[in-house]
Structure 1
Amino acid sequence: MPIEIRRFGVGNRRPDGPIGSVGLTGQVLYSDGRGVISELAFARNARIEPHASPNTTCFIVVEGGGWVGVGDEWTRIAAGETAVWPADIPHAAWTEHSEMRAFVVELAGPDDHDTVVGRARPVARGNGQLVARTGFGSGPTHGGSDGEPA
């Protein structure tokens, strides 16, 4: 079997993300019944609105930084860190003053193939919009509340 090379990054991305996403481009790198691997690039002030997925997902930041939320908690995240989003719990990601690039690995069992490929379901709370910061907890777990990590 020959080696399959797939291109990603600048020039290969298109607008992407769950319904309501703003300022995101990305590309699916691989998808089958076991899961999906995608690259996402966040512009400044980009966001993935709160949504839930039936599968555990790893959000792996490789450049820049921003914010992630799971349920009612939120925190800063930077290159070299991974957020684990549990199945069926609302999660979100966003940037403010910086850009961010991440790989998203959504894990699934063979019976999840139809639900994992582009079928995240919206969350009623917030009506598809990011709720006020107080909705993600009383404050960040990394100290300070302005900006993102370097």
Structure 2
Amino acid sequence: MATKRVLVVFVLPIVFSLIFGSVVMADILQKPDRELNMWPMSSDRSSSHQEKSLEILNLSSQYSVNEPVEIQVKVNDASFDCGDLYITIYSSSTNEVITQGGFLEQCFVNTNSLIPVNDKFSKPIDTPGSYKVVVDMVSKDLSNTSTSSKFNVK
């Protein structure tokens, strides 16, 4: 009787977990766009081999006071077509939002254009200092990607 209890309490759960785990793993590996990454590389190594999904274009490293900061964005991932673009400039010292622009329904894949489409982001900054521009792109399925860059105003 004691051996049956040992079998039910200890051995059966182990057998069922192995069977269930094997079925789940087999199902996951059957999906074509899934992969089993048991040994992920550090983010620095993996990002050097991958192209960034967003690039900030026309951003200078230095601007004069009241000179407008004008940028465009290149999106290298077509899954973000017809998404919403948000551009925010922060003060690097206080992390305070200085200005922000939102551009909704930015469709660019068919025309292979830069965004914002038929519009531009142009904001003058009137205080000298160090700033950071952050670009966020949100697709229709609510996935997002982001990039940032720093510049100075003298």
* Common fold: TM-score over 0.5: no
Greater helix percent: which structure?
2
> Which is bigger in relative contact order (C-alpha 8 A, separation at least 6)?
1
Greater strand percent: which structure?
1
Q: Which has the larger radius of gyration?
A: 2
